[in-house]
Amino acid sequence: MSKKNFTKGWFTDLYSNTCGLGLRYKKILFHKKSKYQDIKILDSYDYEKILLLDNFIYRSSWFGQVIPEMIVHTPMLTGTLKKKVLLVGGGDGWSLAELVKYPSIKQIDLVEIDKYVVEACKRYFSEVKSAFSDKRVNIFIEDGNKFIDKINDIYDLILVTPSSPFDASGSKSAAYPICQKDYFAKCKKKLSKKGIFLTDGTNIYYSLKDIAYQEFTYKKVLKDLSSLYNHANLFCATSPLIPGGLFTLVIASNTYNPREDVISKPRSIKTIYYNSKYHRASFVLPSVI
């Protein structure tokens, strides 16, 4: 464990060399240093259970579904309901738990490079455990970049939700290749004519200072996807887990404009954050972006 992140019952998610979010924790429930990253699950006081990847907060039991709700419901409720979905990097299970709420979906292919993320989250996060065993879900433990090269399937929706493309030292992580334009172009070839692609941007306030991002920002992702699709839009969500609170996602389609082609959320699908009005409002961006 890094001495910079852990000290006397406190964990600090470092946003830069001089700034971070500090929180007290009771104990470390799980710790595994895999081939790809350092994985921890903390039992904290305020955030409940927290998933750390390379000592960055990734998900928590306390409002951990905020970002996954926006990842899933925004594209699912743009245009028409989707039947076949590819989720890359979703081994934590939170986005998967939102996807399985839709009866319209017939197939979900989950691709996760690190089996220990899946194992840990299935064990410690009851909120997502049942999603992994849904009969429509196929789990592939492999590199998302290699997976996209070999499959022949065509999807209605592709979600790429990687961990940080850089580790805490600033070196490229295993997620780096699936955050690049070349990968986005590969994914486009696996989309149906009316398909939708979505991936992470970055946090607004700290992405230029964060030691783990360097040249990777929401601006670059938006530029890359704008060159590939007729519609590429940045939208925002707020979360207590995100540096500065404000996080961006990028959605792209050749057919649908996600700000206008919005369909109503079925009443049977329960959310705590997403709603149709906020769907549209999330594309209204502050001037700082």
Q: Which of 98, 144, 31 is nearest to 266 (CA)?
A: 98
- CATH 2.30.140.10 for domain 6-60, yes or no, is yes
Query: What are the tens digits of pLDDT across the range 46-78?
Result: 999 999 999 989 999 999 999 999 999 999 999
All residues at 6 or more sequence positions from 124 whose CB lies less than 8 Å from its CB, including other chains: 29, 30, 41, 49
What one-letter code names the amino acid at 61? S
Is 163 a residue whose pLDDT tops 90? no
Query: What are the tens digits of pLDDT across the range 256-284?
Result: 999 999 999 999 999 999 999 999 999 99
Domain ranges of the chain: 6-60, 66-281
Query: What are the tens digits of pLDDT across the range 229-248?
Result: 999 999 999 998 888 889 99
What's the predicted TM-score (pTM) here?
A: 0.94
Topology of domain 66-281 in CATH is: Rossmann fold (3.40.50)
All residues at 6 or more sequence positions from 161 whose CB lies less than 8 Å from its CB, including other chains: 71, 87, 88, 89, 90, 95, 199, 200
Is 220 a residue whose pLDDT tops 60? yes
